[in-house]
Amino acid sequence: MASSRHLGRVIVFQTLFAYEFHGGDPEAVLEYISREFEGKISDLSFAYELLNGVLKHREDILSLIKENAPQWPLDKIAPADRAALEIGVFEMKFSKDVPPVVAIDEAIELAKTFGNENSQKFVNGVLNAIFEKSK
């Protein structure tokens, strides 16, 4: 059984992915997507905090991704990989209650689940580069 936080990350991942393509109100998108998880997650407060944190710090997050994946312009990074990276970078750099190794592991799991066969290696490489520079 997946943890409530893991499911929250899955919901935020799907929200970021859908928001990129369709726009609209990100919280309304999250609310819509969360209906798929009814009965599996009772408290969406973590998901809302994560979504709002990613959106609030998005400029800084994207800058860190660009800096640590210089051979990959943002528009060339697969949307699934970018969403996993945004969540991972936010949790590593801006969240006070998630250890960096947990943030990296969770982002890799998202990439593994929703990306292609190379996604987990790419996400792992970028996030580890950011982690190493922050030591």
Give residue-wise pLDDT tens across range 69-115. Answer: 999 999 999 999 999 999 999 999 999 899 999 999 999 999 999 99
Q: Is the pLDDT of residue 1 over 50?
A: no
Domain residue limits, the chain: 4-133
- Span 9-33, average pLDDT: 95
Q: Is the pLDDT of residue 134 over 90?
A: no
Instruction: Report the C-alpha gap between 71 and 112 in whole angstroms.
Output: 21
Q: Please, what is the average pLDDT of the chain? A: 95
Structure confidence at residue 135 (pLDDT): 74
Percentage of residues in the chain with pLDDT exceeding 70? 99
Instruction: Report the C-alpha gap between 103 and 92 in whole angstroms.
Output: 6
Q: Which amino acid is at 117?
A: E
**Residue 3's pLDDT band (boundaries 50, 70, 90)?**
confident
CATH fit for domain 4-133, picks 3.30.70.1150, 1.10.3720.10, 3.40.950.10, 1.10.940.10: 1.10.940.10
Contacts of 131 (CB under 8 A, 6+ apart): 92, 100, 104
Instruction: Report the C-alpha gap between 27 and 42 in whole angstroms.
Output: 17
CB 58 within 8 A of CB 20: no
Structure confidence at residue 42 (pLDDT): 84
Neighbours of 78 (CB within 10 A): 16
**Residue 2's pLDDT band (boundaries 50, 70, 90)?**
low
Q: Which amino acid is at 110?
A: L
Q: Which residue has the tokens 């936010």?
A: 90
Structure confidence at residue 44 (pLDDT): 95
